[in-house]
Amino acid sequence: MAAGNGPWMALALLTLLAGLQTPALSEVSVQPNFKQDQFLGRWFTKGLASNATWFQEKKAKLSMCKSVVTAAEDGALNLTVTYFRNTQCHVWNLLLEPTGTPGHYRYYKPKWGSNHDVLVVETDYDRYAMFITQSTNVPGKELFMATLYTRSQNPVAERELNEKFRSFAHSQGFTDEAIVFLHKADKCIDDQ
């Protein structure tokens, strides 16, 4: 849920896009039998892949964010992202509206005039989730971001999850240069 990638999504919306070949969102499938109630709770952003030009410049400086997903009215999700930047903790909130397909959500950011589709592609609910976000803010230009969420900053079988995400990102058209695994933040996101 890029949404779990909130601060980085905001940066991406302000940049030009790289020419990465990524599949159309219509070619991406959501988690079969997605169970929203099991998806709720705390997640950490462990991996990212993006076709945004800013990503290559900033990826070495990125660190984990903590996202808390709670149920909202009418099947929507509240997403609260906490991250550390410029010596301060920041919080970013958004509402993910259901699209009618379980695991597929949409939100709109009036500040940038941008539409965002978020698809939960794979999750075991207990350890990890992988999703893809497509954002459109300029006609003809689209941002794609793949995200790996984990329930812990130090997930069990971390190497296996990283390889699973790398394969997922490759299947979405991202190269190794477009993939980053994030280090733990020193502040703002505890495991509590």
Place of tokens 């505890």: 190
Exposure string of 167-185, with b = 16+ CB inside 10 Å and e = fewer, is: ebbeebebeeebbbbbeeb
Q: Which residues is 93 bridged to in the sheet?
A: 80
> How many CB atoms neighbour CB 79 within 10 A?
24
| 65 labelled catalytic | yes
- State the catalytic residue, choosing from 17, 49, 65, 77: 65
Report the 10 Å Cβ neighbour count for 32. Answer: 8
* Other residues' Cβ atoms within 10 Å of the Cβ of residue 109: 15
Active site (catalytic) residues: 65
